[in-house]
Every structure is written in structure tokens, then in C-alpha cells.
Amino acid sequence: MRPIYALVPLALAACVTPAATQDGTTVDVRHEMQAEINPAIVAIWDVGNNASDENGMLDGAQMTPELWDAIAAAAAELAASSDRMATATDIRAASPGNMAVEDYEVPMEQVQGYIDADPQGFRNFSASMAALSRNLESAARNRDAATAGQLVATMDAVCSACHNQFWYAEAQ
Ligand code: HEC
């Protein structure tokens, strides 16, 4: 199993712009990634980095109440963001003011095309992420390091699976 602090090779968000209208039916995926999902998972990885055993797994003996609370809070943010993506009727790759990418990155118009080809698949990945996040919040509240570590590793796989279909589809 991959260690809890394993970093996926993602360009971390450098700039964050306000979200498009998020009325429960429209969601701005890039905003969720940059402002919600990524900061929350980084907070969780930070805890793992500071409280892992020699195998890189979350070590309950090194966990303090503050660290558990940090995981629980970040997991709740992940769940809320994932729920927005899972329930949106209109899924926008990015807001009009936040479409710019580097030459080597996948254009947001292309991401939109991938989403439009399978919006329900996108919602299903989001629902999986939401369920894992809620389980992680419970594991943190129950101080269950083994379960929490496994859930974070599983989340890592869901990030990658969703990115493979809706972000880097052409690279497959
Ligand atoms: C439901 C599908 C889905 C899930 C689950 C998902 N992502 Fe994403 N993510 C996307 C899509 C689509 C993009 C491409 C659009 C974009 O660049 O924001 C993206 C882009 C990103 C970006 C780049 C944002 C930018 O600056 O453009 C980061 C960082 C990111 N995701 C992190 C994560 C992490 C970490 C996880 C898991 C905790 C995750 N994502 C889970 C769909 C998903």
C-alpha cells in the first residue's frame, strides 16, 4: 500500500478565482479542485507526513487530538466539495475567468468535452469521493489510524481514476 503522504504528480494550484454561481445545480470543477479539494487533501497529507511510522503509514501513537481534528475537518471539506460535484446538474470544467492553462496542460475546453461525454460518470466518481471522505471523518473522530490510512490511500486512487477519464483522457 502506498504511504499516506504519497504525493500525486499534480501541478498545485497557484491562483484561485471566485467560483461561478454554486446554487447546487452548477459546479465549477476547477474552483472545487483549487480552492477545496486540493487544500483539504494537502492538509491531510501534512498530518500523515508528521505522524507516520517507519512504513509510511499513519501511526496512531503519534496522533494528537489536534491532528485528528485537522483530519476530520479536512475530510468534511472534501465531503462537502465532492457532494457539490456529485449533485450538480450543470458541471463546468472552469469559470470563464479561470480557463488559462500552460501549453503543456490540457485545455479546459477539452476537459469540458470529456465531462459532457459522461456527466453521470463524473458524478459517480464524486459520490465515491464523498463517501470515502465521510468515512475518513468518522475514522478520525474514532481515532482509528489503520482505517484512516487505508481510506486516504483509496482516495488517492479515486483522484487518479477521475483525472484519467476527465482530465488526461487523451494521454491514456
Ligand atoms: C470527480 C472527478 C475528480 C475527482 C474525484 C478529483 N478530481 Fe481533481 N480534477 C478533475 C478534473 C476534471 C480536473 C481538470 C480541470 C482542472 O484543471 O481543474 C481536475 C484538476 C485537478 C487539479 C488541477 C487544478 C488546476 O489548477 O487546474 C488538482 C490540483 C486536482 N485536480 C487535485 C485533485 C485531488 C488531490 C483529488 C483527490 C483528493 C482530486 N483532484 C479528485 C476531476 C476530479
The residue among 56, 59, 78 whose CA lies nearest residue 6 is 56
Q: Kindly tell me if the per-residue pLDDT of 120 is higher than 90.
A: yes
C-alpha cell at 60: 496512531
State the distance from the centre of ligand 1 to the C-alpha of 52, rounded, in angstroms: 25
Grid look-up 504511504 returns: 3
Count of CB atoms situated within 10 Å of the CB of 20: 18
Q: Kindly tell me if the per-residue pLDDT of 2 is higher than 90.
A: no
Question: Could you tell me what percent of the chain has a pLDDT over 70?
Answer: 85
Q: How confident is the model at residue 25 (pLDDT cuts 50, 70, 90)?
A: confident
Q: How confident is the model at residue 171 (pLDDT cuts 50, 70, 90)?
A: low
Q: Do residues 126 and 36 make contact, with C-beta atoms less than 8 angstroms apart?
A: no
Mean pLDDT of the chain: 89
Pocket perturbation via mutation, ligand 1, pick of 37, 41, 42, 116 by most ligand atoms within 8 A of CB: 37
Q: Do residues 95 and 30 make contact, with C-beta atoms less than 8 angstroms apart?
A: yes
Distance of CA 33 to the CA centre of its chain: 7
pLDDT digit string, tens, across residues 79-117: 999 999 999 999 999 999 999 999 999 999 999 999 999
| pLDDT attached to residue 170 | 78
State the distance from the centre of ligand 1 to the C-alpha of 129, rounded, in angstroms: 12
C-alpha cell at 89: 446538474
The residue among 107, 83, 124 whose CA lies nearest residue 169 is 107
Grid look-up 463517501 returns: 131
| pLDDT attached to residue 105 | 94
What radius of gyration do the chain's Cα atoms show?
16
Q: How confident is the model at residue 56 (pLDDT cuts 50, 70, 90)?
A: confident
d(CA 150, CA 90): 32
Which ligand 1 atom is nearest residue 13's CA?
Answer: 26
Using CA atoms in the order 23, 25, 30, 35, what is the torsion angle rounded to 10 degrees? Answer: 40
d(CA 98, CA 47): 30
